[in-house]
């Protein structure tokens, strides 16, 4: 069972007590991975590596389009670092690397995990992906009625990335295997 923290100070203290030098931060898009990485880096005095910085852009995917030799080289050249990115366990497996500690971020509101529908699939991941595609098509139709580019952005990017992240959660269950869960408040205000 993973330990849980509800604020960045608690995460920092946990990491320091654990003595982690190579830290991985995982979660869905918008969970706050980069922000947590920057806060920890400042407190711990170590650099941040963002997987996104090693990804080839606009390729129609994420994990298959990372410059793994460059990422691996950067990681091996540093005795300590914070590595943040979506699908982190899969990325690490692709380069045969590990971290001392794996943190998974859950956005919480009113005591509930906001993104649970995108990460846990009681009816199977394929059914969840079908629902996502249906919802995405509805959003796209709404935006396409307005003569702006937002509809095209939603249609082009949301399903592919979300589908990849959903399959990752189904395959790796990072929210269950992480060493530490950061339950970040997503309360308004």
Residues 101 and 148 in one domain: no
* 117-173 per-position pLDDT tens digit: 889 999 999 888 888 777 766 655 555 544 444 444 433 444 456 888 999 999 999
- What integer pLDDT is reported at residue 40 of this predicted model? 96
- What integer pLDDT is reported at residue 89 of this predicted model? 98
In whole angstroms, how far apart are CA 63 and each of 27, 41, 149, 165?
A: 14, 24, 26, 9
Q: Where are the alpha helices (DSSP H) in the chain?
A: 8-18, 33-44, 68-76, 88-95, 125-145, 150-172, 174-177
Range(s) of the domain holding residue 67: 3-114+173-185
* CB of 95 closer than 8 Å to CB of 71: yes
State how far the Cα of 25 lies from the Cα of 84, in Å rounded to an integer.
5
Beta strand residue intervals within 27-167, DSSP E: 48-50, 81-84, 101-109, 112-113
Residues 70 and 152 in one domain: no
State how far the Cα of 90 lies from the Cα of 105, in Å rounded to an integer.
16
State how far the Cα of 122 lies from the Cα of 118, in Å rounded to an integer.
11
Is residue 58 pLDDT above 70, yes or no? yes
**pTM of the predicted structure, to 2 decimals:** 0.86
Residues 61 and 106 in one domain: yes
What's the number of domains the chain is made of? 2
Distance in Å from the first CA to the final CA of the chain? 32
Residues 124 and 151 in one domain: yes
Q: What is the mean pLDDT of residues 36-53?
A: 96
Residues 159 and 179 in one domain: no
Q: What is the mean pLDDT of residues 59-75?
A: 93
Is residue 80 pLDDT above 60, yes or no? yes
* 117-130 per-position pLDDT tens digit: 889 999 999 888 88
DSSP-assigned letter for residue 186: -
Nearest to 100 by CA among 15, 172, 177: 15
Residues 106 and 146 in one domain: no
- What integer pLDDT is reported at residue 139 of this predicted model? 54
Residues 121 and 82 in one domain: no
* CB of 148 closer than 8 Å to CB of 167: no
- What integer pLDDT is reported at residue 33 of this predicted model? 96
- The reply to whether 155 falls in a domain is yes
Q: How many H-runs (helices) and E-runs (strands) does the chain carry?
A: 7, 7
State how far the Cα of 31 lies from the Cα of 186, in Å rounded to an integer.
9
Residue 38 — very low, low, confident or very high, per pLDDT cuts 50/70/90?
Answer: very high
- What integer pLDDT is reported at residue 76 of this predicted model? 96
- The reply to whether 168 falls in a domain is no
Annotate 32-43 with DSSP letters as a single string: SHHHHHHHHHHH
């Amino acid at each position: 069972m993973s330990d849980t923290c509800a604020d960045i100070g608690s995460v920092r203290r946990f990491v320091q007590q654990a003595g982690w030098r190579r830290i991985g931060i995982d979660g869905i898009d918008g969970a706050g991975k980069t922000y947590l990485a920057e806060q920890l880096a400042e407190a711990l005095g170590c650099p941040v590596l963002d997987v996104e910085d090693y990804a080839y852009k606009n390729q129609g995917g994420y994990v298959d389009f990372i410059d793994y030799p460059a990422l691996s080289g950067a990681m091996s050249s540093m005795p300590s670092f914070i590595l943040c990115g979506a699908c982190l366990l899969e990325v690490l497996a692709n380069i045969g690397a590990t971290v001392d500690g794996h943190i998974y971020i859950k956005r919480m509101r009113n005591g509930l995990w906001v993104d649970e529908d995108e990460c846990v699939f009681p009816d199977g991941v394929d059914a969840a992906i079908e629902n996502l595609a249906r919802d995405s098509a509805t959003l796209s139709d709404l935006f396409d009625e307005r003569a702006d580019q937002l509809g095209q952005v939603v249609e082009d990017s949301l399903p592919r990335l979300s589908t990849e992240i959903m399959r990752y959660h189904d395959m790796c269950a990072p929210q269950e295997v992480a060493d530490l869960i950061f339950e970040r408040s997503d309360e308004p205000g």
